[in-house]
Chain A
Amino acid sequence: MTKVKMVRNVLEKNDKLAEQIREMGDNSKTVLFNMMGTPGAGKTTLLESIIPALKEDYKMGVVEGDVATANDADRIAALDVATAQVNTDRFGGTCHLGSEMVKPALEKINYDQLDIVIIENIGNLICPAHFDIGAHYNIAVVSITEGVDKPAKYPLMFRNSKLAILNKIDLLEHLNIDIEEMVAGIKQINPDIDILKMSALQPNDGIALNKWIKKRGRRK
């Protein structure tokens, strides 16, 4: 028997390509956002609510990750922004986007001509957090209907994000929950994270999210 020592990162391929994607974005001054969250948390609805105003100021693109359908991509394309769809069933139906899926999608929408690209990851609180896809900023979206202890159960997503969106705040009056407990839970995981409590259905709430994104976007 021979012992072969190596110490090799199991995600090395993904991580290397992610670094390349981030550099591509740096070179073309394109800022990439990775929006993650549970299925149904409201990611696509949030995009629908902020894109009309964002695209006034920035050249925008969206990459839509989904296991099989193009429904979300169709909703975004209807807003007249560059949209690419990634269906992971071609990649074995995985529950997260990987760099090898994101790179061709970015190329397809000519990301280098764009100022901001938002990538909607596959609806899942666990897996996407483990795969760097080369974004400059990660955003975690949860809906307050999912229970205040959700963040504590999925710490990595909040640990790796710069912004947490607590969505569907319009439903608060119907729920018997303490939203501040949810905020505290997230701050315990990541004290530096920004938190926005909002409703994707309230156009006014979108203003704060737009501001957050604009602060990080660069116009060519």
Chain B
Amino acid sequence: MHELTIAQNIISIIEDELQQRNKLACQVNKVYFNTGRLNAVVPESLQYNFNQIKKERKFTQNAELIIKEIPITIKCEDCQAETQIDEPVFKCQNCSSRQIKVIAGKKMYIESMDIE
């Protein structure tokens, strides 16, 4: 599963952010991670992988990963409605048009972290 790669990337971004601020000696308490549903990240698996590898670094050894899933939002090019979809059926929930653009639910990013 690519959750391991994601967990590794989260830790290297944290390291980079701390380094930029000269704060590598800090402790990270919480990491706020957002992932669009389209990424099909399995939260339990990401959590597990993160907890496995966080101990390898001093600054993340007690860090808690907080995962927020962002629903898939589409915008219809016919009726302009913005609707959310729960299934992988990419059609407007308002008028059933298939001419849609995904406007949310694709990205995967760290939003912030709490350090001390």
Which residues in chain B, 77-91, are within 8 Å of chain A measured between CB atoms? Answer: 87-91
Q: Mark B78-116, 1 if CB is under 8 A from A, else 0.
A: 000000000111110000001000000001111111111
> Which chain A residues numbered 1 to 17 have a C-beta less than 8 Å away from chain B?
1-13
A156 proximal to B (CB < 8 A) = yes
- Residue contact A188 to B107, C-beta cutoff 8 Å: no
CB pair A4 B113 closer than 8 Å: yes
Contacts of A108 in B (CB 8 A): none
Q: Is B115 a contact partner of A1 (Cβ separation < 8 A)?
A: yes
CB distance from B92 to the nearest CB of A (A): 12
Max count, chain A CB within 10 A of own CB: residue among B2, B29, B109, B110: B2
Chain A interface mostly helix, strand, loop or mixed?
Answer: mixed
B4, B39, B88: the one within 8 Å of A152 (CB): B88
Across the interface, do A95 and B1 meet the contact criterion of CB distance under 8 Å? yes
| A8-B13 contact in complex given A2-B115, A3-B112, C-beta closer than 8 Å | yes
With A1-B29, A155-B88, A159-B38 given, is the CB distance from A9 to B108 under 8 Å? yes
A161–B2 Cα distance when bound, in Å, is 19
| Residues in chain B near residue A127, CB distance under 8 A | 1-2
Q: In the complex the two chains form, is B1's CB within 8 Å of A5's CB?
A: no
Q: What distance in Å separates the Cβ of A89 from its nearest Cβ neighbour in chain B? A: 13
Let me know if A10 and B4 touch, CB within 8 A.
no
CB-based contact A126/B40 at 8 Å: yes
With a CB–CB cut-off of 8 A, which chain B residues contact A154? 40
Q: DSSP majority for the B interface?
A: mixed
- Give A126 to B38 CA distance when docked, in angstroms: 11
Interface check B10, CB cutoff 8 A: yes
User: Is residue B6 contacting chain A, with contact meaning CB distance below 8 A?
Assistant: yes
Q: Considering only CB atoms, which chain B residue lies closest to A155 in the complex?
A: B88
Q: With A and B bound together, what is the CA distance between A2 and B23 in angstroms?
A: 11
Q: Which residues of chain A are near B5, meaning CB under 8 Å?
A: 94, 96, 98
Please name all residues of chain A whose beta carbon is closer than 8 Å to the beta carbon of B91 when the two chains form the complex.
188
Hey, which chain B residues are within 8 Å of A1, CB to CB? Answer: 29, 114-116
Instruction: For the complex of A and B, list the 4 residue pairs with the smallest distance between their C-beta atoms, beginning with the closest.
Output: A155-B88, A127-B2, A191-B98, A5-B112
Other contacts beyond A2-B115, A5-B112: 7, CB < 8 A: A3-B114, A6-B113, A10-B110, A11-B6, A13-B9, A95-B2, A191-B98
Chain B residues within 8 Å of A, Cβ to Cβ: 1-2, 4-6, 9-10, 12-13, 17, 21, 29, 33, 38-40, 87-91, 98, 107-116
Interface residue ranges, A against B (CB under 8 Å)? 1-13, 92, 94-96, 98, 126-127, 130-131, 152, 154-156, 159, 188-191
